[in-house]
Structure 1
Amino acid sequence: MVLSPSGELWCEDERRSATLLDAQHPLNGLDYVEYRRDRNAPAGRQFWLEATFLKPAPALDAPGATILGGVRSVGLRVVTVEPDAANPLRLLLFLDAEGDFSTYVLALEHGDLDPERSEARFGFKAGCPTEFDCRAVDLCVPDPLDEPDLDYLAKDYQSFRRLFLDLIAVRNPDWTERLPADFSVALVEMLAYVGDYLSYLQDAGPATESFFETCLHRVSMQRHARLIDYTMHDGRNAATFVQFDLEPAPDPTPRVVPAGTRLVTRIARPLIGATGAPGTVLPADADFDGDPALEGASVFETSALIATTSAHNMLMVHTFADVDCCLAKGTREAFLYGLDGDAIYRPAFAGGDYLLIEEARSPTTGAEADADPRHRHVVRLDAVEDTDDPVFSDRLTGGELTARLDPLTQDPLPLQRVRWRVEDALPFTVCLSNETAQAGLVRNVSVVRGNVAPADHGRTVRRDGLTVAPGTGRWPLATLRLPDAGLTRHSGPFDPALSADGRPVTARHALDAPPRAAAPAIHLRAILTSAARRFWTPVPHLGDSGAYDRHFVAETDGDGSTTLRFGDDIHGRAPLNVESVTAFYRVGSGRRGNLSAGALVHAVSPDLAFWADPGVATGPVSLDPGDPGANVAFAEIARVRQPLPATGGTDPETIEAVRALAPEEVKAIQFRAVTAGDWREMALRHPGVASAKARFRWVGSWHCVFVAIHPVDTGNLVALPGGGVRLADDFAAEIRAHLVKFKLAGTDLAVRAAQYVPLEIGIRLCIEPGHYRGQVLQAVHEALSNRVRPDGSTGVFYLPAQDFGADVYLSRLYAAVEAVDGVESAEVLVFKRYWELPGDALDRGRIELGDFEIARLDNDPNFPEFGVLRLSAVGGA
């Protein structure tokens, strides 16, 4: 604000003061005035003004200073004027009295003062408490516009044309042109057309996209859904396994298939520059963007580097020379050996390698063509052990194992014992050998193959010279639009680890993530104006990104086009001073990747120059992402096999699906636990929990909720002396981390195992004539066991199926026993808790359990404290 001598001139930008501040300018100006008082000072010095100037204060006397204004207190005088020793820009003007609550003006007269800056407003009561801003503002209010009376319901061409014609008639009554050929009418119709177009954009733009129920674009729906904690997924690519048969290596250089090796469906036409159909391995320069022979081919890529050798093409499972052998359902280990003519050798697997177990020939006919393609299973090893069989030698005789009769001249049969993960346990019985009347003895029905790699759908492309579009207007975030449609979403980390040349170095093994957890397969290499190179990686959203995190969000619209959205230096770093961008990403996703077994038949030689950084003198020098100096070579691939179909490919979720499911999910899913029932529900959301029970207790200073966990996997229970159990440490920590997210303030949380109650049950059976007593007893034992039975059903005391507080009823035991074929009658003799004396449970027909108790009957002779079942029988054979 500036006070003009000719009146009040209100300005927000005081540039005149800057002009006066120039040391060469002869005039000075009054900057501001502050009032001070000290009632303990002598008379004449109790009230004073501190006048601050733009330059050193001029020499001024009392007559040259006048106090103007006042309502109740008027006629104030300046008694004396003194310079301020502490500040050369300030004068102290002592007054004879104090003013009222109105605004006063200090007017100074001096030849060196600018007339415009010789006055300043001030108040005597600035220190008094007030709820209002003490600054008086006189805004320059514009005159109201002379707006016509418009019809805001006009939305199309006809209504806009009618609106314009009516407005012209009001403003210019003499205007009579109405012919369509008249210039003014043509102008009106052109404006009506523009209005119609803008109205459509308004309806199909922010007005529509701003609402969950009306938005039409995927990006808008994704953002709406995120506001209610619903993740709208963009689909996921399909995944499978491939197995390579290798030619013997011409030199001892280790052979590998690196991550990112392309795998292609059959190509029947010659590539550009070739005269015939391609072989198993395509050249590294195969042009998937421009070669007509590759148009329409489905491309997969391996997701982890594997070491390969022709010695692992096919291996045998050692049966210790027995016949009619099989690997039972649920098996997790085997003994393997390989054959080189009549010589037997030991495989060289390591932990983390993949194996394919497949039926190579029919166990009935012995023919390879009759092998069941459903009997194929891929496992991943977690332990290997080199061993041997001292009974047999390391050579075959007539195709049969040779007994090792002379340990001095004959080496034992070399074996490697392999063990795979729990989740890879065999889902079916694997037949190893069989003897039939039709084919005789059929050996090696099922074999093991190495050189197996995980792979998923999508082709990696590189696009150089992309530019980032800066944000403008109300959308200040920079964006980058990808030139290719169909960005791959795969199972992998959102923020992958990258090597110095930009290659992802984190192997991806778990390729079965749900679509909502799939990550966009893309990262950027930006070249800054300083010639520095920086990598940018994707995140689900920028809400958790810091100001220095080089993150972006990949948003794919309904037409498959993808736009990358960057941060604003608060949530995610803004891409400032970026000269150009190189994008590495994959294209190909959805259901079209769900190929049948055997579809992938070609591999593509890796192109190391693909990842080369133009600013680095040397590009990648190794096929191993973890060892840039390793001396390795690409495998000599003779055949590419896809033993299993590709599964998991999912199309992007539709807008209609989100509109139907998101509101219901908000209603159905609760994200806080208040009652004991809430805590049980939250615990059951964890996939490793079979049942849970919660109770609140006062622990002296606050409430604590005790949550008892009954796990699905009994391996998460640690046995204690006396029959007690506790949760395994890692599992307990995992459950607590899962539950603490739902905890309310003021409530503590304790996680513990359920209280398992061992039972002691004795039953006497009467076996029907014509049945073997031992077989019937075995069948009853299986019916009352704690295991999964061969037919897939579970025993009565299968622990994961038990629940808290579920009483054990005698009638259920009788029903299970009498359902066994061969049981004529049964009598329960003992029915009680293991540690207690017999009570009235047998008479009452049930064993009552407390709220936190679960019945347990393992019938393990080594651990009777976990329950005992005693069976006796009469009759039968």
Structure 2
Amino acid sequence: MAVDSGSVANIDYTSRDFTGYRDSLLAYAEQLLPEWTSRSPADFGVVMVELFAYLGDIMSFYQDRIQDEAFLSTATQRSSVVAIAQQLGYQPHTAIPATGQVAFSPAPGLTSPVTLPAGTQVITAYIAALDRPITYETTADVIVPAYTTPVPQVVGLVTEGATQGSRTLALYASTSGQPATTVRVEDVGESDGTKSQAFTLAQSPVLLDTVRIFLDDGVGGTEWTRVTDFLLTRDSDLIFTAITDDQGVTYITFGDGVTGAIPATGLKITAAYRTGGGSYGNLPQGSILDLAEGIPGIGVSGSSPMTGGADEEPIDQIRTNAPRVFRTQGRAVSETDYADLALNVAGVADARAVVRSASAVTIFIIGPNNILPSEGQRDAVAQYVQARSLSGVVVNVVNGSLIPVNIGSSSLPVLVSVQPRYRRDTVKLAVQQAIQQVFTPPETTFGSRISISHLYRAIQEVPGVDWAVIQMMARSDLSQSGTADVICRENEIPIVGSIVITASGGV
């Protein structure tokens, strides 16, 4: 059957906002109803057209948003970015707790040794920004000897965070000969025997690496194994996944009987885990002051700096790192592969590999927000990459070097002229923040070059800036004069140093 092309509207399918829909509908109406000529806003037909255009505008907006969430470069929701990264084989890093050492000493009158069990809590002073002290826990038993002169000190390793749970659960002895033990757990629910059961943990933020799940039959508990996903698993595997959503709620999910076993009906689901993690746990030496719960005859006599704490990996960092890890395909061949594989280890936000010889590779690493990784994190990177490197190649892991860059000085400040009707102090603060943003990861990386044009562009984009003159920009370890480009070595990352700004004009 022939189609009369004259009766078919020429619809512009790229016009997807309110005005476009309205104009297209009215143009189409001219062909179907030529006798309808009124375009008054009070006309009932125009009202209906505008209502449909309004509805189309809303639908188009959500269609665009849904489409954006399907791509790593345009997704805005953290859950979408994490899901895409996991499809690429990259597991974004959750918050990491700070670690350090605490010295314990006996008080006069302690006549016999006292054992501080693993998990003994120590605290800092009250911190107003958090409205609480920061808690750390010992990672192993610490034996404090009896009081003598000079007073002995015993050092124990501690990690930031707190163990959760309201009761203890006895575990069955393992088939490998491990004796029965007890663990502190939280009751999270009871299995109903259905597929893909999910339970939530009561406290947050959860340190996912510490989550352990046990099924309690009333006599003892059997531990299940945490996996990142259910791929390549069997119906008999006692496994679960632990995922934290955008709201900070952690979900425990079991298998469906095909990929992963289903917990038997009636068994209690219990969880052992710790909460904590974040850069706030990085504290200077001597910050740990006391035991959370006093123990007679035992006191805290000192502490080392607490280091290695980091916030969860930001979205922009995930966008950068996920494709890098995907390109390695789980093996290190090229120089770039060695650096990209290091990103799979928790606590590593950026890495640079340098080949010194045919049999040695040095990997420089840095943590989130340019935090220096701990010795344990460096060892974890070396072990992970070494297992995937070429035979005969030795992998060495070293922290990257942070190079402060000073912008302006007391004698050569950054001069900023503020436009009329803009508040001078507000613009000055915005300029300082814009300069800091230039040095914020992932804008900067190993071997970055910071040119004066980068800073001028950032400053000029600040609303209210009329003109600006940068009189000095230099590395803190070089002469503090001139505005030459800042060039970093392959193991160096530029960070913002001092910023001195003088603003004029405005109000």
TM-score by length of 2: 0.49
* Structure ranking higher in helix proportion: 2
**Bigger RCO (CA 8 Å, 6+ sep):** 2
More strand by share: 1
- TM-score normalised by L of structure 1: 0.31
The structure with the largest alpha-carbon Rg is 1
